[in-house]
């Protein structure tokens, strides 16, 4: 199970939830702080009783930008590209110098480690180990920024950026990952891994995943059902995923289900 830490709830999200709850008392709406499903009439009381620190933290902040931080998944494609480049470089080095430069029947370790191919392989393995440790520690983060004009994704350690103007089409569906069964010769199986919201269409879109569905289909209308996906751009916690839903509702992309 993927877990993403959620530090705090934005005042803009709390304001949006309170206004939507007051305007739709009979609708089922999610809490922006814990993702619990509530009747609209109970949203304000729930926030005051269960999350008093969030209420009034930023009154009138509905015009402020909303920033959500999650786990970067687009960077996996960058890593895959680096692996391909590494294999190409090693292959070119082998073709350019197929004969070892060490001499003698029993070359010393210092002679071996000075071989270009050995150096390339060692550096590649070291970089791969560092990346694996950082990935396991969820150190690679993406940032979603929602404004009145659009939603922007900053990824790949700040080197990549994608912007989708709002309002935009919203698609939701199920995420799957492939996992080895652990049996000798056994094929990998697909395991349900959460839900996603895809904002925009075609190449100009952002796919946001979450380990929990948070009742998107029950709480909102205005979305279309999407296909099963194995690739997405960023992972958010359940609470941040709900905050994104309220931001999309504020932009006219989603409407509370009656």
Model pLDDT, residue 137: 57
Looking at residue 112, its pLDDT comes to 52
| Rounded distance between C-alpha atoms, residue 44 and residue 55, angstroms | 9
State which H helix or E strand residue 88 sits in: helix 75-96
Whether 7 shows a pLDDT value over 50: the answer reads yes
Quick: pLDDT tens for 77-108. Answer: 676 666 777 777 777 776 776 655 555 555 55
80-94, 169-183, 218-232: which is most confident:
218-232
- The secondary structure element, H or E, covering residue 240 is helix 238-250
Q: Kindly report the pTM of this predicted structure.
A: 0.76
> What CA–CA distances, in Å, run from 57 to 13, 42, 67, 243, 248?
11, 19, 16, 15, 21
Q: Where are the alpha helices (DSSP H) in 99-213?
A: 109-113, 116-136
Closest CA to 32 of 215, 222, 232: 215
Instruction: Average the pLDDT over each of 113-117, 167-171, 220-224 and give the range with the smallest value.
Output: 113-117
Contact 175, 185 (CB under 8 A): no
Kindly indicate the confidence band of residue 21, based on its pLDDT and cuts at 50, 70 and 90: very high
Kindly write down the DSSP assignment for every residue of 190-229, as one continuous string: EEEEEEEEEEEETTEEEEEEESS-TTHHHHEESEEE---B
How crowded is residue 234: how many other Cβ atoms within 10 Å of its Cβ?
27
Confidence of residue 52 (pLDDT cuts 50, 70, 90): confident
Closest CA relative to residue 3, chosen from 253, 182, 212, 172 = 212
pLDDT (tens digit, 9 = 90+) per residue, 137-156?
A: 566 788 999 988 899 999 87
DSSP 56: T
pLDDT value at 3 more than 50: no
The torsion angle over the Cα atoms of residues 239, 236, 143 and 12, rounded to 10 degrees, is -20
DSSP state of 63: G
Alpha-carbon distance of 160 to 157, in angstroms, equals 8
Q: b/e per residue, 142-181, with b = 16+ CB within 10 A? A: bbbebbeebbbbbbeeeeeebbbebebebbbbebeeeeee
pLDDT at 208: 96
């Amino acid at each position: 199970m993927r877990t993403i830490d959620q530090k705090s709830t934005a005042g803009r999200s709390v304001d949006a939830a309170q206004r939507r709850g007051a305007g739709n008392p009979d609708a089922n709406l999610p809490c922006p702080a814990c993702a619990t499903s509530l009747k609209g009439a109970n949203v304000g009381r729930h926030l005051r009783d269960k999350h008093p620190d969030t209420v009034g933290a930023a009154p009138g902040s509905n015009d402020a930008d909303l920033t959500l931080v999650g786990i970067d998944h687009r960077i996996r494609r960058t890593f895959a590209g680096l692996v391909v480049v590494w294999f190409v470089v090693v292959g070119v080095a082998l073709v350019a110098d197929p004969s070892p430069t060490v001499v003698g029947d029993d070359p010393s370790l210092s002679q071996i480690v000075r071989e270009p191919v050995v150096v390339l392989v060692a550096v590649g393995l070291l970089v791969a180990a560092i990346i694996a440790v950082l990935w396991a520690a969820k150190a690679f983060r993406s940032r979603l920024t929602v404004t009145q004009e659009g939603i922007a994704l900053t990824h790949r350690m700040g080197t990549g950026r994608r912007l989708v103007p709002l309002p935009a089409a919203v698609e939701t569906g199920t995420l799957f990952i492939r996992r080895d069964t652990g049996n000798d010769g056994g094929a990998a199986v697909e395991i349900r891994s959460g839900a996603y919201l895809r904002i925009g269409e075609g190449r100009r879109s952002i796919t946001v995943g979450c380990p929990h569905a948070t009742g998107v289909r029950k709480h909102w209308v205005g979305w279309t059902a999407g296909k099963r996906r194995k690739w997405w751009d960023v992972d958010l916690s359940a609470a941040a995923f709900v905050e994104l839903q309220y931001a999309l509702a504020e932009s006219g992309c989603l409407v509370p289900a009656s």
